[in-house]
């Protein structure tokens, strides 16, 4: 069972590194990388959910709740991308003393992404590991 946990951990870590590299390569300079990063990360989270579903089927689990975490992360990142385009920011106004709304601060903040994604990754790894331990104790 632990070999599956380490396989998933390596897939998660490798996927994060590859998605960051792809987003930086596809984006146009400083202006276009953020929505690209959000969408690619959402797609990678969807792939993680598929990996967890495959793993649950292979290990004969009834369900694998860690996959649900990645579906939630992917959905949240897609919503952030939509909101990014719904509420554009006039950066000249902000640079001359204007204020961002709280929602704009969350949408345009790198920290929001860098909190959402690792928390999802750690939650899925923890839930998956706990599920495997619980299944083995039966």
- Over residues 9-21, the pLDDT tens digits come to 677 777 777 777 7
Give the model's pLDDT for residue 52. 75
The CA–CA distances, whole Å, from 70 to 53, 95, 130 equal 11, 36, 16
Helical axes 110-137 vs 33-58, angle rounded to 10°: 0
Dist. CA 17–CA 103, nearest whole Å: 27
At 101 the pLDDT is: 82
Output DSSP code: residue 100: -
Q: What pLDDT does residue 28 have?
A: 62
* Residue-range definition of the domain harbouring residue 132: 2-137
* pLDDT beyond 80 at 86: yes
Residue 84 predicted with pLDDT over 60: yes
Q: Would you place residue 27 in the very low, low, confident or very high pLDDT band (cuts 50, 70, 90)? A: low
Which value, to the nearest 10 degrees, does the dihedral of the CA atoms of residues 129, 115, 110, 72 take?
Answer: 70
CB atoms within 10 A of CB 120: 23
Q: Can you tell me which residue has the tokens 């792809």? A: 22
| Structural domain count of the chain | 1
**Band of the pLDDT at 3, cuts 50, 70, 90?**
low
CA quadruple 113, 119, 125, 131: dihedral sign: negative
Per the model's pLDDT, the better-predicted residue between 58 and 80 turns out to be 80
Question: The tokens of 40 are what?
Answer: 């690619």
Q: Give 89's pLDDT tier (boundaries 50, 70, 90).
A: confident
> Is the torsion defined by CA of 7, 51, 76, 36 positive or negative?
positive
The pTM of this model reads: 0.64
């Amino acid at each position: 069972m632990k070999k599956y946990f380490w396989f998933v951990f390596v897939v998660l870590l490798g996927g994060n590194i590859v998605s960051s590299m792809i987003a930086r390569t596809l984006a146009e300079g400083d202006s276009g990388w953020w929505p690209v990063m959000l969408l690619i990360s959402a797609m990678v989270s969807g792939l993680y959910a598929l990996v967890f579903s495959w793993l649950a089927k292979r290990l004969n689990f009834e369900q694998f709740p860690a996959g649900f975490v990645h579906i939630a992360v992917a959905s949240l990142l897609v919503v952030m991308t939509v909101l990014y385009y719904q509420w554009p920011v006039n950066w000249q106004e902000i640079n001359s003393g204007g204020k961002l709304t709280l929602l704009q601060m969350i949408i345009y903040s790198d920290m929001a992404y860098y909190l959402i994604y690792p928390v999802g990754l750690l939650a899925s790894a923890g839930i998956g590991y706990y599920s495997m331990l619980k299944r083995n104790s039966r």
